């Protein structure tokens, strides 16, 4: 029973908490930076956004409509694989889906919108994180991910044809317990299509109350901690994903299958509040700026040519999350303490 309790606890342990316990080896995490999330459930809703679509091939046409809501649900759980003084490896499983709702769907008269309306765009992602400390000042931070995105169950194609991969590598310096930064490369779908981007990671705490966490150009968040049970963040996040979609009917003006590629920048303000020792709730709001939401050939006929290029107008959004962090109280509950 004790072993089972310990295993249950370890499922909730995340890399930052382990790294922050080390005083000998370098880490990207700094003093007063909050513990990472072991289990995370979040819901996001973008409200009332106009969509304009421009055809990129002659047989299609332009159109526009209004999206009453774009909903996203996400579940993420992290599991430790190897925890040592110098090296920590975590695994993570993430499941997400997007759900579009159009105003006056009976009047859309546009196949691309009709297929998006009330369709679950699913993603199942497996991620591995590795932090290795080279010495007391330098570290290597890596992430490898593989995802199955789209209508896997509706196709007879092999699973690897739905696979999307991403990789990040950062070489960093921990200059003090309050300041750590690193440089590296990202290969992912942040802008909706595969792309290699340089990245600059910088985490810093000025004091117990103020600090920031960043992975530029993708994220920059200023952190305000008025007390141990409350955190406020302000800044921006970028996000991107692609889905492989199959037509819902046999008579289609688009391809029988294609890819939807989407990327956004969210300017946000969030409040995180502890509700019980290791259980936290988050409330976030701001403005969503869409970079792209396109229908791509996906290398079927036109060699990755865009079929329809679309944009969403800036729109308000809200996010609600419930998450768990490892604490001493949680350790004691599962019969594990130092």
CATH of the domain at 175: 2.40.160.40
Q: By mean pLDDT, which of 248-252, 299-303, 304-308 is the weakest?
A: 299-303
**Pair of tokens at residue 29:** 């995490």
1-34: per-residue pLDDT in tens? Answer: 444 344 444 444 444 444 444 457 999 999 999 9
Residue 316 above 60 pLDDT? yes
Residue 3 has a pLDDT of 42
Give residue 27's pLDDT.
93
Rounded Cα distance, 229 and 227, in Å? 6
Beta strands in the chain (DSSP E): 39-55, 63-83, 87-102, 120-133, 138-149, 163-176, 179-188, 195-205, 210-216, 219-227, 230-246, 257-276, 279-296, 306-312, 315-324
Q: Band the pLDDT of 285: cuts 50, 70, 90.
A: very high
- Distance (Å, whole) CA 252 – CA 91: 40
Cα 283 from Cα 323, distance rounded (Å): 12
- In-domain check, residue 338: no
Mean pLDDT of the chain: 85
Q: Which pLDDT score, from 0 to 100, does residue 133 have? A: 95
Closest by CA to 310, choosing from 41, 165, 100, 161, is 100
**Residue 207 belongs to what domain range?**
2-333
Assess if residue 90 is contained within a domain: yes
- Give residues with Cβ within 8 angstroms of 228, minimum separation 6: 274
Nearest-angstrom CA–CA distance, 293 and 312: 7
Q: Which of 173-177, 257-261, 279-283, 298-302 has the lowest mean pLDDT?
A: 298-302
Confidence at residue 16, expressed as pLDDT on a 0 to 100 scale: 46
Does any domain span residue 143? yes
Residue carrying structure tokens 């970079």: 291
The DSSP call for residue 12 is: T
Residue 268 resides in a domain: yes
Mean pLDDT of the region 48-55: 93
- The number of domains in the chain is 1
């Amino acid at each position: 029973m004790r072993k089972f309790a310990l295993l249950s606890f370890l499922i909730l342990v995340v890399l930052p908490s382990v790294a922050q316990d080390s005083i000998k080896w370098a880490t990207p995490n700094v003093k007063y930076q909050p513990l990472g999330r072991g289990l995370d459930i979040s819901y996001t809703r973008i409200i009332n956004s106009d969509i304009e679509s421009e055809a990129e091939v002659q047989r299609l046409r332009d159109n526009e409509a209004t999206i009453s809501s774009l909903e996203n649900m996400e579940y993420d759980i992290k599991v430790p694989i190897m925890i040592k003084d110098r090296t920590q490896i975590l695994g993570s499983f993430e499941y997400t889906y997007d759900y579009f709702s159009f105003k006056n769907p009976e009047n859309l008269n546009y196949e691309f919108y009709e297929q998006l309306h009330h369709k679950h765009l699913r993603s199942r992602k497996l991620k591995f994180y590795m932090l290795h400390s080279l010495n007391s000042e330098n570290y290597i931070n890596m992430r490898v991910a593989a995802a199955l995105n789209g209508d896997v169950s509706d196709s007879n194609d092999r699973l690897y044809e739905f696979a999307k991969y991403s990789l990040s590598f950062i070489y960093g310096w921990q200059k003090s317990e309050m300041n750590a930064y690193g440089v590296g490369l990202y290969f992912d779908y942040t802008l909706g299509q595969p792309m290699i981007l340089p990245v600059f990671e910088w985490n810093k705490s000025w004091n117990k109350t103020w600090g920031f966490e960043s992975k530029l150009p993708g994220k920059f968040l200023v952190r305000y901690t008025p007390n141990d049970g409350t955190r406020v963040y302000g800044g921006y996040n970028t996000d991107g994903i692609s889905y492989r979609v199959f037509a819902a009917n046999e008579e289609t003006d688009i391809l029988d299958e294609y890819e939807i590629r989407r990327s956004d920048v969210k300017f946000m303000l969030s409040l995180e509040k502890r509700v019980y020792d290791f259980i936290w709730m988050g409330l976030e709001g701001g403005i969503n700026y869409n970079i792209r939401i396109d229908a791509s050939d996906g290398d079927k006929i036109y060699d990755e040519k865009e079929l329809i290029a679309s944009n969403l107008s800036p729109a308000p959004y809200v996010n609600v999350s419930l998450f768990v962090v490892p604490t001493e109280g949680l350790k004691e509950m599962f019969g594990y303490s130092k």
